[in-house]
A and B are shown apart, each in its own frame.
Chain A
Amino acid sequence: MKTKLAVRDLHLHYGTKEVLKGINLDIPENNIVALIGPSGCGKSTLLRAMNRMHDLNPEAKVKGKILLDDDDIYAPGKDVVAVRRKIGMVFQKPNPFPKSIFDNIAYGLKIAGENDKHKLHAIVERTLRSSYLWEEVKDDLDKSALSLSGGQQQRLCIARAVAVQPEVLLMDEPCSALDPISTAKIEALMLELKKEYTIVIVTHNMQQAQRVADLTAFMYFGEVIEFAPTRQLFDAPQMELTANYLNGNFG
């Protein structure tokens, strides 16, 4: 299987505190990889490192490499905007812009220079259909995205990220603020999306990891303790720490 995203000896400091301590991880193309572990273990930090979100925080210092198709996204002089266009992100809380549903989806396309009205409409419709939102909002495209329910907002955010056709989709606990029905819809959507995209998801929900992820990485105190096919990690963890965590001995 082709490796889409490769993390190589990645260290991250916040000020003097080392949050990621030499991460190595190979994420295969068209797979869903789950990052699990107790709060504060660095899984969200690692995820945000994958599309250089830490650039916004002057306190954060990154060392090491993350290779997207063998191309280091932290290489000097690398165009961050181009990186983020290839590696999209969905956040923990749904964060649609206070704009219309249409404009939310079209935003990424417009800033990339797409101004053709017909094309925009076609892409917005296709994207909304692919995130199973079209039937629910097709008559309200001009309404504010903030008028949608939480679950709809999150699917809109996924659609917004997908609209610019990234290659990798990062999801930071995308269902933690949602009810079980919305969660099920988003999980179904993820399984559909992995045909075209490579997905990395941070989750606190062990059942969710088992339902959607092909591979799961267990992280603890800034290190990847175990990285294995999901079934194997949950059924027969190789490391004692993993087993303890999965048994609920800490967390």
Chain B
Amino acid sequence: MQKRHFIDRAIKWLFFGAAATSVLVLLGIFGMLLFNGVKAFAHISLAEFFFTSNWNPSAYGEPSYGILAMLASTFLVTLGAMLLAVPLGVGAATYLAQVATEKTRLILKPVIELLAAIPSVVVGFIGIVMVGPFIARVFGLSNGLTALNGAILLAVMSLPTIITVAEDAIRSVPNSFKEASYSLGANQWTTLIKVVLPAAYSGIIAAIILGMGRAIGETMTVLMATGNALAMPRGFFDPVRTMTATIAIELGEVPYGTTHYYSLFAVGALLFLISLVVNLLAENLAGRYRYKL
């Protein structure tokens, strides 16, 4: 009897430990980023870091540490990805949840989820050899590795997230809303647009934000496919270098303990904060969309 009691308690603590570990890892990562990142500001002013666009930490004499250009690049690529992925993703989710027959849905859904299984390096590869050259030809550019290229690839990568979560939200709209709408003389499309989608609104927003989080944090694809130019982008046809790509490119070669080294941690901490806010927002909205029946 004593022994069984002991095993019960041991198992409880074992699982608690497993859960606590992931929380500790999260806190550890954030603490480490913040701890190192803050050191950068011993030599860089906050104003320079956040409000100037010249990033040239290894310049001889006067290095510069402005992240505005890469912040704008991250923003631009993410925005482009969302402009493409949101209509496509929400449209696909609506089709799967409301229009498709059960048979079609059972085939399409796993296939769409499979999109998420493509390694990002493969997506980047496709960007270099196919999508980039295609963009260059269509728009008459000398180089197709642009913000647009990254946006298209990130759109594809965030589609599975958007479709899965949005479909779930749309499907969870109670049938009784639809019946009420039909009984008032609405047709299928009116019902969809005026009743079903508005009822699933917060879930769809959550889906979009989660997809956005995926796009903001993605590194390998944008590193490979967007040209990595360290300048303020003027539009989608410019090559860009995002925050993620900058960290990936530079952190491997930067001398330990320098201002440059710490400044990359500061970029990482900022990126982490952005992702955190995006995810918390999505979580908060997603919890609200379920209707009690």
A residues adjacent to B (C-beta < 8 A): 51, 53, 56, 81-82, 84-85, 88-89, 91, 93, 95-99, 107-108, 111-112, 157, 160-161, 164
Known: A97-B177, A111-B185. 12 other contacts (CB 8 A): A81-B185, A84-B183, A84-B184, A84-B185, A95-B177, A97-B180, A97-B195, A97-B199, A98-B198, A98-B199, A107-B181, A107-B184
Q: Does B16 contact A (CB under 8 A)?
A: no
A164 touches B179 (CB 8 A): no
Q: Whole-angstrom distance between the alpha carbons of A93 and B179 in the complex?
A: 12
Query: What are 30 A-B pairs with beta-carbon distances under 8 A?
Result: A53-B179, A53-B183, A81-B185, A82-B185, A84-B184, A84-B185, A85-B185, A88-B184, A91-B176, A91-B179, A91-B180, A91-B183, A93-B176, A95-B176, A95-B179, A97-B177, A97-B180, A97-B181, A98-B291, A107-B195, A108-B184, A108-B185, A111-B186, A111-B194, A112-B185, A157-B180, A160-B180, A160-B184, A164-B184, A164-B185
Q: Whole-angstrom distance between the alpha carbons of A160 and B195 in the complex?
A: 14
Q: Does B190 contact A (CB under 8 A)?
A: yes
Q: Whole-angstrom distance between the alpha carbons of A82 and B198 in the complex?
A: 25
Q: For residue A92, which residue of chain B has the nearest CB?
A: B176
Residues of the B chain whose Cβ atoms lie less than 8 Å from the Cβ of A97: 177, 180-181, 195, 199
Q: Does B182 contact A (CB under 8 A)?
A: yes
User: Which of the residues B174, B178, B184, B199 comes within 8 Å of A111, measured between beta carbons?
Assistant: B184
Q: Does B45 contact A (CB under 8 A)?
A: no
Q: Does B58 contact A (CB under 8 A)?
A: no
The 10 closest A-B pairs by CB, nearest first: A85-B185, A108-B184, A95-B176, A89-B183, A84-B185, A95-B180, A111-B186, A81-B185, A111-B190, A98-B199
With a 10 A CB-CB cut-off, give which of A91, A98, A157, A161 has the most chain B CB atoms.
Answer: A98
Residues of the B chain whose Cβ atoms lie less than 8 Å from the Cβ of A81: 185-187
